Amino acid sequence: MTQYLIRRLLLFIPTMLLATILVFALFSIVPGDAAVFLLTGEDASGTVTDADFERLREDLGLNRPIYVQYADWLWGVVRGDLGISLYYGQPFGFELIERFARTFELAVLAIVMAFVAAVPLGIISAMKQDSGVDYASRVIALVGIAMPTFWIGVLVIYGLVYGTGWLPPLEYAHLWEDPLQNLKLMVLPAAVIGFHDMAFTARVTRSAMLEVMREDYMRTARSKGLREWVVVGRHALKNAMLPVITVSGYQFGRLLGGVIIVEQIFVVPGVGNFLIDAINHRDFPVIQGVILMTAVVVLLLNLIIDMFYGVLDPRIRYS
Amino acid sequence: MIDQTTEQAAIAREAMPAPGLTARWWTAFMRFIRTKPLGAVGGLIVVLLVLVAALAPVLSPYDPRSTPALPWESPNADFLLGADYVGRDVLSRLIYGARISLYVGLGSVLVGITASFIIGVALTYIGGIVDMVAQRIVDALMSLPGLLIALAIMAVVTPSLNTVILAIVIGMIAPVIRTVRSQVLSLKELDYVTAATAIGAPPWRIIFRHIVPNCFATYLVLATYYLGFAIIIESSLSFLGVGTPPDQPSWGGMLVRAASAHVKSGPWLAICPGLAIFLVVMGFNLLGDALRDVFDPRLRGR
């Protein structure tokens, strides 16, 4: 067991380092580098003298060898210093963390809502295979997987604006200061984000349950005379939940992608608006920061799931 | 004597190859429709998409970039699906949008899945430290959602259809490499590969005669699924305003101003482009499910 955990941890470190290299490299292979964008403006229409250019490159440290730049940046990241926004000219680390917390809250809320809806749906669907309920839940799954998240968002907003005259609130309430108001603001976007995940999780739950129900121990449990809900709840569900939890966990990264879009639609001041703004201003340090943070969160989450999985399932541990 | 019979057989084959082959394909096709009705519906949607894209100039009533209508004009006899915020015909933009979705989808899948196959097969044969390092790079790439990678790429390139394809390809390459790699690893263990190795077949022969043809089904299934993925990412990028240039009629871009609470827009704008994306993605997913079932009976009905 310890050996498995250590092996998994050791695997995490090089992956994390490689992720930082990838994030850094992407913005170092930009044709012309950031100095050009800064000097020529967003539409690249300004004129630059060579002297200006060299001075700015020196200020930004872009004239140093690439590995020195990387080491410098990584050292900063480790100390919590993500650098200075090129557009606003000030550090953005604190704001990024604050915004990421909101995005994270939204994502967690979405995944919880998806899970609560999907698991019963998947179970019923598997228990009553090929019944009306099963077909309905399979149709929901098919539809939910193919519907682009931003379209659901657009439809919900449109329906609300058109039907009730509601507008997305521009005032954001903090979770710690006004939890009720905060939840009220977050529930709708979270439901929109969670819809795809719900469809997917219901499908995984259904197939996992169908698989488990063919096992011998299910027949044994039934022939012992256990009541049906004990058989399903204690014997089937416990075993079927493992793949469901794993898949949900790995879906988290994809979910964060959906959050970025839905935040735009529902005007949630999360990391999504920050990122799109930064992309429009070619504010590379900010983009780097957002992507790095996502990678760290997703990799940590995968690490936790793997360890959890290792604890629950001995087959993984010894393989 | 032997030569003569083979020659006769060859002549016979040459004389009537078409009917036999066509009939076989026809039977297979009919069986597919009978056993996989949902897959057939998916296939039909895909065929319709291709037809609409190919016949766009004939089908669309107006030039998708011209502004023949009033801004936000409601659907009427002249503009069946109404007009958008500058007065462009929604129906014409929808029809031309099929071209963009299909171009970006096919482009990303052809480039992305083919590249992943080459890399995946190469890695299993090179093995050792190269394979290990590559696996960690794949892990690192997989820690980022495809949309986020695509957004990051769009930040450093000039937006155009081809850079959108590049962004989508980078976003999807890691999971595909992983699938291909595991497929190739299990194929390498099969008896006929061992047999080929035993009779002294060189690696390139094993790769091209035994491994690659057996990956064809995987290729087709992955391609179908990732077409849907590519179309969703393209429309998401355009919806966020960093993808396909705004003058081009991308379905995602058409939704941009459809739900802004501050502008009065019509329901036709919020519904039509999204419905198009939804139907096409569902078409590809249904087709992919059916193809996977046909090629891999073990997974049937999951």
pLDDT number for residue A116: 92
For chain B positions 182-221, those within 8 Å of chain A (CB to CB) are none
pLDDT at B301: 45
Q: What's the pLDDT at A73?
A: 85
pLDDT in tens, A248-291: 877 888 888 888 889 888 888 889 889 998 988 888 889 989 99
User: Averaging pLDDT over each range in A31-35, A65-69, A261-265, A308-312, which range is the top one?
Assistant: A261-265
> In which residue are the tokens 């800064």 written?
A38
DSSP codes joined into one string, chain A: -HHHHHHHHHHHHHHHHHHHHHHHHHTTSSTTHHHHHHHHTTTT-S---HHHHHHHHHHHTTTS-HHHHHHHHHHHHHTT---B-TTT-SB-HHHHHHHHHHHHHHHHHHHHHHHHHHHHHHHHHHHTTTSHHHHHHHHHHHHHHHS-HHHHHHHHHHHHHHHH-----SS---TTT-HHHHHHHHHHHHHHHHHHHHHHHHHHHHHHHHHHHTSHHHHHHHHTT--HHHIIIIIIIHHHHHHHHHHHHHHHHHHHHHHHHHHHHHT--SHHHHHHHHHHTT-HHHHHHHHHHHHHHHHHHHHHHHHHHHHH-HHHHT-
Chain B residues closer than 8 Å to A251 by CB: none
Burial profile B131-162: b = 16 or more Cβ within 10 angstroms, e = fewer: eeebbbbbbbbbbbbbbbbbbbbbbbeebebe
A191: pLDDT confidence band, cut at 50, 70 and 90?
very high
Tell me which chain B residues have a C-beta less than 8 angstroms from the C-beta of A149. Answer: 236
State the best of A33, A150, A281, A304 to mutate against chain B, taking most chain B CBs within 10 Å.
Answer: A150
Over residues A168-183, the mean pLDDT reads 71
pLDDT at B261: 46
CB within 8 Å: B143 and A254: no
Residue A91 φ/ψ, nearest 5 degrees: -60, 145
What are residue A84's DSSP bridge partners? A91
SS3 label, residue B84: coil
Tokens of B47: 């065929």
Question: What is the C-alpha to C-alpha distance for residues A32 and A62, in angstroms, rounded to an integer?
Answer: 11
For residues A35-52, give the mean pLDDT.
60
Q: Do B241 and A280 touch (CB under 8 A)?
A: yes
Give the per-residue pLDDT at B166: 94
pLDDT of residue B233: 94
Whether A302 sits inside 8 A of B143 (CB atoms) is yes
Q: How far apart are CA B94 and CA B107, in angstroms?
A: 20
Shortest alpha-carbon distance between residue A158 and chain B (Å)? 6
User: What is the interface pTM, i.e. ipTM, of the complex?
Assistant: 0.84
Give tens-digit pLDDT for A196-216. Answer: 889 989 989 998 898 888 888
CA–CA separation, A151 vs A261, rounded Å? 10
Question: Nearest CB to A26: which of B156, B258, B261?
Answer: B156
Q: How far is CA B149 from the centre of its chain?
A: 19
Find, in chain A, the residue whose alpha carbon is nearest to that of B282.
A146
Digits of tens for pLDDT over chain B (302 positions)? 445 555 555 555 555 555 577 888 888 888 888 888 888 999 999 999 999 999 999 998 888 888 887 777 778 888 888 888 778 888 999 999 999 999 999 999 999 999 999 999 889 888 889 998 898 889 888 888 889 999 989 988 888 999 999 999 998 999 999 989 888 888 888 888 889 989 988 888 888 888 888 888 888 889 998 999 999 999 999 999 898 888 888 999 888 876 654 455 677 788 889 999 999 999 999 998 888 888 875 554 44
Per-residue confidence at A159, pLDDT binned at 50, 70, 90? confident
**Is any Cβ of chain A less than 8 angstroms from the Cβ of B228?**
yes
Q: Residue B299 has what DSSP assignment?
A: G
Instruction: Please indicate whether, in this complex, the C-beta atoms of B239 and A150 are within 8 angstroms of each other.
Output: yes
Task: Nearest by CB to A256, from B140, B145, B155: name it.
Answer: B145
3-state secondary structure string, A227-257? CHHHHHHHHHHHHHHHHHHHHHHHHHHHHHH
Number of A to B CB contacts under 8 A, please give it.
140
Share of chain A above pLDDT 70, in %: 88
Nearest to A169 by CA among A47, A95, A268, A242: A268
- Whether residue B253 lies within 8 A of chain A, CB to CB, comes out as no
List of residues 6+ apart from A241 with CB closer than 8 A: A208
B145 CB within 8 Å of a chain A CB:
yes
- So what's the pLDDT on residue A36? 62
A73-128 residue pLDDT tens: 888 888 877 777 877 778 888 888 889 988 999 999 999 999 999 999 999 888 88
Q: What is the pLDDT of residues A127-156, one digit of tens each?
A: 888 888 888 888 888 898 899 998 998 888
Closest Cα in chain A, distance from residue B243 (Å): 11
Q: Which residue has the tokens 């009553």?
A: A128
pLDDT tens column, A260-269: 889 888 888 8
Least confident piece of the model among A60-64, A68-72, A84-88, B111-115: A60-64
Q: How far apart are CA B128 and CA B124, in angstroms?
A: 9
Partners of A197 on chain B (C-beta within 8 Å) are none
